[in-house]
Structure 1
Amino acid sequence: MSSISYEDVQAAAGRIAGHVRPVTVAPADPGTFGAGEGWFAYEFTQHTGSFKARGAANFIAAHRAAGTLPEAGVVIASGGNAGLACAWAAGRHGIRATVFLPETAPPVKVARLRRLGADVRQVGTEYAAALEAAGEHAERTGALASHAYDHPLIAAGAGTLLEEIRAALPGLDTVVVAVGGGGLFSGVAAAAHHHGVRVVAVEPEHCRALNAAVEAGRAVDVTVDSVAADSLGARRASDMALYWARQPGAVSVLVPDEAILAARQSLWDDRRLAVEHGPAAAFAALRTGAYRPAPGERVCVVVCGANTDPADLVRPGE
């Protein structure tokens, strides 16, 4: 299994320093997180609108330093956000990016990818079909294959987020993250484990690749059927994510789609945050009690993506 260590996260932090936006943390209103002391990490303000920019920047920088960036450029399969990040990072270095997406990808993400100059190709209705097509493209053209989540450089880059949150919130007890294939979770968990911080992995009830892997003791295929599938719709979690999910201090919880919709609406109504359903899942874990902080527990929820159409958030008359 290709896994990562805390040292990998530190190396990633060095590579991407000055190239990504430091995360902003904001306090939650008293009582929002029950008995806990709550904070939000506004990672959705990152380049390309999600945490994915961290991993993409680390991936491209590491390969450029090693001299392993081919003429054919880089290729990735994505639900949208990883592709956006890859196209952004590649563009900064004048490298061609080919992005395979499901035909069901949100139009707002497809349009932004094209504005970034990516060669966009849509196949199938799930991420798995896009992944297969991207692999075939890499073999045929010699393009460098990146990955939305299952790559040590991608996960290590994502883990730099935890370092910044800890710097902003000394004494942090728990970080709550939404999970798709497990790249963000793996990186954050690798750093959190080093510091003794608990990591709560949140998934939709019917989009539960990591939770099912923990239950089975191995990575397994799951059905993908959730309002958050465009960002959390991996059919199978990475072995790397499963490794970290089985370490002390990791917790896996599930939330229903109705709670995700309500959490997303609440973030708009109460904080004017227009975010995707994926990051809303993390907040839903606190709102539903899927995770209940202890009195005084210092908890930070990562709000990690905002590539969404906000039209369905605005109530009539607003």
Structure 2
Amino acid sequence: MLHPTDIAAAATRIAPYIRHTPAMSVEPGAIGLDYPILFKLEHTQVTGSFKARGAFNNLLSREVPGAGVVAISGGNHGAAVAFAATELGHQSTIFVPAVIAKEEKLRRIRAFGGEVVLTEGSVADGMAEYNEYAEKTGALSVHPYDTAPTLAGQGTVAKEIEDQLDGLDTILVATGGGGLIGGIAAWFGDRVNVVSVETEGTNTLALSLKEGPDIEVAATGISAGSLGGHTIGTLPYEIVTERVKTAIVLPDAEVFTAARKLWEGTRLLCEPGAATALAALTSGAYRPEPYERVAVLLCGGNAETDWFAG
């Protein structure tokens, strides 16, 4: 299992290439809640999401061949891998399943130097094409959520949070394939309650906890572009089953509401995946105990700025 020392080493390794993103406190009433909330503003990270952490840790801790790197992504992981590869002098090829592709994220992948390959069929079909390409070309495969370097990199955000927010009791994290929540849970252990939040169309973790890790979910809905992992990774599953006790699933409507409240009360813009985590609070699905210090990880900001309008 991933150890906190792996995460600490990753933090040192990637420090020259990423941002130390800010944290902020929001007073009661600002977004319709009668208690204060803490936010980790990871949507201000380079490339607009936490994924830069895992991408850089992969490329800096593994040998990159002349064929470059290859990744599969709904957008954020692909943008991060493309950015990291370009920064470090490598070429990158990013497979994106058309079923969950968003134009905003495709533009960012290309802007960061990645060659985009759109795949037809399901996410699982895209994963097969990505694996075939890696095997055929010898390019370094950078999995979005199921390798130790990826989880160690993502876990560095938890290390930062603990340095910034004293006495934290609970953190709410949106879950896709499990790389982010797995890294965070590996760092915090039993010190902080880590809560998973998903939508009904991206409920991979909640379903896996009920039926086992071999299930597959065909991602749908507003958060599919960022939380659209069709399975939970083997390594994240091992960590999550031991350390994550609560998995919340919400309808898309609550994600829209959370994003609107966040904008109205703070003037912060984030993508649907990030708003999903906040929706656990604004919907009342998670109600903190008195004096419980709760943080929400705003994990990404790569979306059209008016996606929640209307």
TM-score range with shorter-chain normalisation?
Answer: over 0.9
- The correspondence for 1:15, drawn from 13, 17, 30, is 13
Q: Are the aligned partners of 1:202 and 1:285 in contact in 2 as well (CA < 8 Å)?
A: yes
TM-score, L = length of structure 2: 0.95
Which residue of structure 2 aligns with residue 150 of structure 1? 146
Confirm or deny that 1:44 pairs with 2:36: no
Gapped regions of structure 1 (runs ≥ 5): none
Which residue of structure 1 aligns with residue 198 of structure 2? 203
- The correspondence for 2:217, drawn from 222, 235, 246, is 222
Letter in 2 for 1:305: G
Listed as ranges, the matches of 1:1-318 within 5 Å are 3-31=1-29, 37-63=36-62, 68-104=63-99, 105-193=101-189, 196-248=191-243, 250-313=245-308
**Whole-Å Cα distance in 1 between the matches of residues 87 and 171 of structure 2?**
31
Measured after TM superposition, the shift of residue 229 of structure 1 is 0.2
- Aligned to 1:206, what secondary structure does the other structure show? helix
**Whole-Å Cα distance in 2 between the matches of residues 202 and 134 of structure 1?**
28
> After superposition, what is the alpha-carbon deviation per residue over 1:37-94, rounded to whole angstroms, capped at 9, x for unaligned?
410110000000000000001111101xxxx210000000000000000011111111
Pair 141,190 (structure 1): closer, same or farther in 2 beyond 3 Å = same
Measured after TM superposition, the shift of residue 314 of structure 1 is 5.2
**Whole-Å Cα distance in 2 between the matches of residues 207 and 76 of structure 1?**
20
TM-score, L = length of structure 1: 0.92
**Whole-Å Cα distance in 2 between the matches of residues 73 and 257 of structure 1?**
37
**Whole-Å Cα distance in 2 between the matches of residues 138 and 235 of structure 1?**
20
Measured after TM superposition, the shift of residue 250 of structure 1 is 3.2
Q: Are the aligned partners of 1:219 and 1:238 in contact in 2 as well (CA < 8 Å)?
A: no
Letter in 1 for 2:287: R
**Whole-Å Cα distance in 2 between the matches of residues 284 and 152 of structure 1?**
29
Letter in 2 for 1:205: E
- Aligned to 2:201, what secondary structure does the other structure show? coil
Gapped regions of structure 2 (runs ≥ 5): none
- Aligned to 1:27, what secondary structure does the other structure show? strand
Q: Are the aligned partners of 1:78 and 1:127 in contact in 2 as well (CA < 8 Å)?
A: no
- Aligned to 1:39, what secondary structure does the other structure show? strand
**Whole-Å Cα distance in 1 between the matches of residues 5 and 171 of structure 2?**
20
Letter in 2 for 1:29: E
Q: Are the aligned partners of 2:64 and 2:140 in contact in 1 as well (CA < 8 Å)?
A: yes
Pair 313,261 (structure 1): closer, same or farther in 2 beyond 3 Å = closer
Pair 142,249 (structure 1): closer, same or farther in 2 beyond 3 Å = closer
Letter in 2 for 1:58: N
Q: Are the aligned partners of 2:27 and 2:35 in contact in 1 as well (CA < 8 Å)?
A: no
Q: Are the aligned partners of 1:37 and 1:297 in contact in 2 as well (CA < 8 Å)?
A: no
Pair 279,298 (structure 1): closer, same or farther in 2 beyond 3 Å = same
**Whole-Å Cα distance in 2 between the matches of residues 111 and 35 of structure 1?**
39
